[in-house]
Amino acid sequence: MAIEIRGVNKSFGDAAVLRDVSVDVTSGSLTALLGPSGGGKSTLLRVIAGLERPDSGQVVISGRDATRLPPQRRDVGFVFQHYAAFKHMTVFENVAFGLRIRKRPKDEIKKRVGELLDLVHLDQFAERYPAQLSGGQRQRMALARALAVDPEVLLLDEPFGALDAQVRKELRAWLRRLHDEVHVTTVFVTHDQEEAIEVADTIVLLADGVVQQQGAPAEIYDNPASPFVMRFLGPVTEIDGRLIRPHDVEIRTEPGEGTSPAVITRVVRLGFEVRVEFTVRGAEGEQAAWAQLTRETVERIAIEEGAEVHVRPRPAIKHSIQIA
Contact positions toward ligand ATP, by CB under 6 A? 12, 17, 35, 37-43, 191
Question: In the chain, how many H helices and how many E strands?
Answer: 9, 18
Whole-angstrom distance, CA of residue 215 vs CA of residue 256? 36
The partner residues of 157 in beta bridges, in order of sequence, read: 189
> Least distance to ligand ATP from the beta carbon of 157, Å?
8
Whole-angstrom distance, CA of residue 67 vs CA of residue 74? 9
Q: What are phi and psi of 38, to 5 degrees?
A: 80, 5
- CA distances from residue 225 to 37, 137, 320 in whole angstroms, order as listed: 20, 38, 11
Q: Which is nearer to ligand ATP, 35 or 130 (CB)?
A: 35
> Least distance to ligand ATP from the beta carbon of 28, Å?
25
Query: Which residues fall within 8 angstroms of residue 260, CB to CB, at 6 or more apart?
Result: 239, 240, 280, 281, 282, 310, 311, 312
> Least distance to ligand ATP from the beta carbon of 42, Å?
3
Q: Which is nearer to ligand ATP, 17 or 99 (CB)?
A: 17
Sheet holding 3-12, edge to edge: 15-25, 3-12, 56-61, 64-65
Q: Which is nearer to ligand ATP, 12 or 86 (CB)?
A: 12
> Least distance to ligand ATP from the beta carbon of 320, Å?
28
> Least distance to ligand ATP from the beta carbon of 191, Å?
5
316 with 247: CB under 8 angstroms? no
Whole-angstrom distance, CA of residue 132 vs CA of residue 130? 5
Among 20, 77, 69, which residue's Cα sits nearest to residue 45?
Answer: 77
Q: Which is nearer to ligand ATP, 191 or 319 (CB)?
A: 191
Q: Which is nearer to ligand ATP, 41 or 138 (CB)?
A: 41
Q: Which is nearer to ligand ATP, 23 or 113 (CB)?
A: 23
Q: Where are the beta strands (DSSP E) in 26-179?
A: 30-34, 56-61, 64-65, 76-79, 153-157
> Least distance to ligand ATP from the beta carbon of 35, Å?
5
323 with 227: CB under 8 angstroms? yes
> Least distance to ligand ATP from the beta carbon of 39, Å?
4
Q: Which is nearer to ligand ATP, 192 or 201 (CB)?
A: 192
> Least distance to ligand ATP from the beta carbon of 2, Å?
21
Whole-angstrom distance, CA of residue 224 vs CA of residue 120? 35
- What's the longest Cα–Cα distance across the chain? 77
Q: Which is nearer to ligand ATP, 42 or 137 (CB)?
A: 42
